Amino acid sequence: MISNQQVEGLMAGSGNVLGPNGDKIGAVGTFYLDDQTNEPAWVTVNTGLFGSNESFVPLSEATVEGVDVLVPYSKDEIKNSPQVESDGSISPEEEVTLYRYYGFSYDDGSADIDSDTTSMSAGTMTDTGVDTGTRSGVGSGVDSDFSDDSDISRSGFSSDATVGRDTSGPTTDDAMTRSEEQLDVGTQSRVSGKARLRKYVVTETVTTQVPVSHEEVRIEREPITDANVDSAMSGPEISEEEHEVTLHAEEPVVNKKTVPVERVRMDTETVTDTESVSEEVRKEKIETDDGIRRSDSTDGHQGSGGHHGSDR
């Protein structure tokens, strides 16, 4: 069921009435409130060609989604509902007809309407809430002739389709919200260590092969010929002589020089690994207590007590 607070939000927008599959049925028209409980009971929706007709839809099983009202009835079902003039009031007879059309259980013996009935008049939305409209009587107009004291509304309709009440706090709507905790895992950067370059000197022995050369004396002998006889006879016939030759030899010479061989620098790269994170989370569970007494009817609604509407 829709609350007065939700009605106030819907009044501020230009919403639509949507069917079970989200199909657009028509634009939201007027909200009608129950004069006894001051809770929204009906909403009108513009149907027909260019929205020429206005049909009534019960709000007992309706929900709100944004500025739209979701109802469990198809467009044809709503369009073919009994036509009631949306002039700010609904008579009890018209309300009974509408309830029966939408399949709500109703006591056949309670259809007698006496003169002490409450008409429904269209109220208006104010800054402080929903105006209750104008009441012309105090009775519900419907005989609530049920056999026991089970949860039956005063109007004669079964209350299975109503909001019910919360035993743990103020009544909000007809559903519980189940929540659970979820892990929101992220990452953050931290200092994990430092790295530095350091240069130092070491000494090592290098061995290499170097080719070297040297001169050796080689004796050459040649016979006396006409070509060299003059040179051979140029000196004394018999004498002592010495002839000297300087010999040369190569030896390794080592020099050292410093040359650059490479450049070394530091850089960083990102490596991605996977770590497992475990944490306890809480979640809510909802279970049904089957000990609750239920009415035999499949649908119920608060009955034909006085209602008033709120124009959008």
The structural domains of the chain, with segments of one domain joined by +, span: 4-175+292-311
Burial category of 41 from C-beta neighbours within 10 Å (exposed 0-12, middle 13-18, buried 19 and up):
buried
Mean pLDDT to the nearest integer, 199-207: 93
**pLDDT range class, residue 311, cuts 50, 70, 90:** low
Mean pLDDT to the nearest integer, 141-155: 34
Among candidate residues 217, 202, 40, 33, the one with its CA nearest the CA of residue 133: 33
- Decide if pLDDT at 70 tops 70: yes
* CA angle 158–163–168, rounded 5-degree value: 125
Of 3.30.300.30, 3.90.1150.10, 3.40.50.300, 3.90.50.10, which CATH number belongs to 4-175+292-311? 3.90.50.10
State how far the Cα of 93 lies from the Cα of 115, in Å rounded to an integer: 12
Output the pLDDT for position 249: 95
Q: What does the block give as tokens for 158?
A: 């079964």
Return phi, psi of residue 311, to 5°: -70, 145
Among candidate residues 162, 142, 165, 163, the one with its CA nearest the CA of residue 154: 142
* Helices of type H across 56-177: 75-79, 92-101
- Decide if pLDDT at 6 tops 60: yes
Output the pLDDT for position 165: 57
Output the pLDDT for position 290: 67
- Decide if pLDDT at 120 tops 70: no
Q: What is the mean pLDDT of the chain?
A: 74
- Decide if pLDDT at 208 tops 50: yes
**R_g of the chain, CA atoms, integer Å:** 55
Mean pLDDT to the nearest integer, 251-270: 92
Among candidate residues 80, 111, 109, the one with its CA nearest the CA of residue 95: 111
- Decide if pLDDT at 52 tops 70: no
- Decide if pLDDT at 200 tops 70: yes
Of residues 84 and 210, more confidently modeled? 210
- Decide if pLDDT at 198 tops 70: yes
Mean pLDDT to the nearest integer, 289-305: 47
Output the pLDDT for position 214: 94
Output the pLDDT for position 156: 35
pTM score: 0.37
- Decide if pLDDT at 308 tops 90: no
- Decide if pLDDT at 83 tops 80: yes
Output the pLDDT for position 53: 74
Please report the sign of the dihedral spanned by the C-alpha atoms of residue 149, residue 153, residue 157, residue 163.
negative
- Decide if pLDDT at 110 tops 50: no
CB atoms under 10 Å from CB of 30, counted, come to: 20
SS3 (DSSP) at 82: coil
